[in-house]
């Protein structure tokens, strides 16, 4: 097993200004971790820009035009902000956002059973709603890739373990399931309450077409409870949707020490998540694609890149946590038990 990586060096030209947490050094740190795991940067593939059709499968043309016009209006060397939300952009941000979406598409299309992929991209995407960029996000990379994968390959499971709720991805999934789409699932853990204020447990919906499953994590959540939530729910979520493709919104800001987020979760949780995702993909003979989202500690990003690279270069590290393990937090235990009933 080896990990194929899509990376555009031009991503550094998405300028967010001084002292902004979503900065170009994030990708360099993650790439350094992959190199520690034995991957060669020379093997990274440069993605093509996403086409207008691919972007507009998720985002209306009017919004896309706003993003392009705002970025075009910003003088070189300066930064501005999208009128739709808290997202800093620069003159080249529109082009770099097309590259990020293209990287997510390439990762999803290239991944094969037993041959996972990673889109090492910025800006991130999971906060971008169909007609609203926010939370550092311009276009929703994972939603765009999932829309393409759903049509090309069949059922898709979206997994999001970022500290922040992927409100934009959920909005797209809800819209898709309200239409004609079938075989689409979204499962997320995220701190709650936290930005952007969405992702309460009662937003979850499970029906014959697919599901949205939100597990809001108390801020006191520790490593064992975090990994055990995923160990108990991910296999059931996958069996429910029977995915051909699993696309992961891989945000590493849930780790302790993140400067703008962070739970009391140790770095070993990344190993457990990677093992569990690999096992789940193997059970369903599904492709597995990771797309970088948040994570603002450079040390954590380096360590997470090393974990991801090592797990998927060696075929797995250790056994995943037992799905029978008891959750310590009673609030989590009640939510997980209810979710298990829904998914059964």
Residues noted as catalytic? 127
Terminal-to-terminal C-alpha distance of the chain? 31
Structure tokens at 173: 């999934």
Burial category of 330 from C-beta neighbours within 10 Å (exposed 0-12, middle 13-18, buried 19 and up): exposed
Beta strand residue intervals within 133-277, DSSP E: 156-160, 184-191, 205-206, 210-217, 245-250
For residue 249, the cross-strand partners are 160, 291
> Within 13 A of 137's CA, how many CA atoms are on the CB side?
31
Nearest Cα residue to 90 out of 105, 108, 110, 75: 75
Nearest Cα residue to 214 out of 197, 265, 247: 197
Structure tokens at 81: 């902000």
Q: Which residue, chain included where needed, has tokens 């457990």? A: 272
3-state secondary structure of 147: helix
Contact 161, 250 (CB under 8 A): yes
Residue 109 DSSP class: H
> How far is residue 71's CA from residue 80's CA, in Å, rounded to a whole number?
8
Structure tokens at 167: 């409100």
């Amino acid at each position: 097993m080896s990990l194929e990586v899509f990376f555009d060096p031009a991503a550094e030209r998405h300028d967010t200004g001084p002292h902004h947490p979503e900065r170009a050094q994030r990708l360099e740190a993650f790439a350094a971790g992959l190199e520690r795991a034995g991957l060669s940067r020379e093997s990274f593939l440069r993605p093509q820009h996403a086409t207008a059709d691919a972007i507009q499968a998720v985002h209306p043309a009017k919004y896309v035009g706003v993003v392009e016009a705002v970025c075009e209006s910003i003088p070189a060397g300066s930064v501005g902000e999208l009128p739709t939300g808290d997202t800093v952009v620069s003159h080249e941000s529109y082009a770099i956002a097309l590259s990020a979406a293209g990287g997510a598409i390439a990762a999803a299309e290239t991944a094969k059973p037993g041959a996972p992929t990673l889109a090492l991209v910025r800006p991130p995407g999971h906060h971008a709603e169909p007609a609203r960029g926010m939370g550092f996000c311009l276009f929703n990379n994972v939603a765009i890739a999932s829309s393409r994968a759903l049509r090309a390959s069949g059922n898709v499971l979206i997994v999001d373990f970022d500290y922040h709720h992927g409100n934009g991805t959920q909005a797209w999934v809800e819209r898709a399931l309200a239409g004609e789409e079938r075989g689409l699932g979204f499962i997320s853990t995220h701190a709650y309450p936290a930005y952007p204020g969405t992702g309460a447990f009662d937003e979850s919906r499970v029906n014959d077409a697919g599901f949205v499953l939100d597990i809001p994590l108390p801020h006191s959540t520790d490593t064992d409870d975090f990994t055990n939530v995923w160990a108990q729910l991910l296999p059931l979520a996958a069996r429910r949707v029977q995915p051909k493709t699993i696309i992961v919104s891989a945000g590493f800001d849930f780790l302790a020490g993140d400067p703008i987020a962070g739970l009391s979760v140790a770095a070993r949780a990344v190993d457990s998540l990677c093992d569990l995702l690999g096992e789940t993909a193997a059970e369903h003979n599904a492709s597995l694609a990771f797309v970088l989202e948040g994570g603002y500690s450079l040390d954590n990003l380096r360590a997470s890149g090393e974990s991801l690279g090592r797990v998927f270069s060696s075929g797995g590290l250790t056994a995943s946590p037992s799905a029978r393990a008891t959750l310590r937090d009673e609030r989590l235990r009640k939510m997980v038990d209810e979710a298990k009933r829904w998914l059964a």
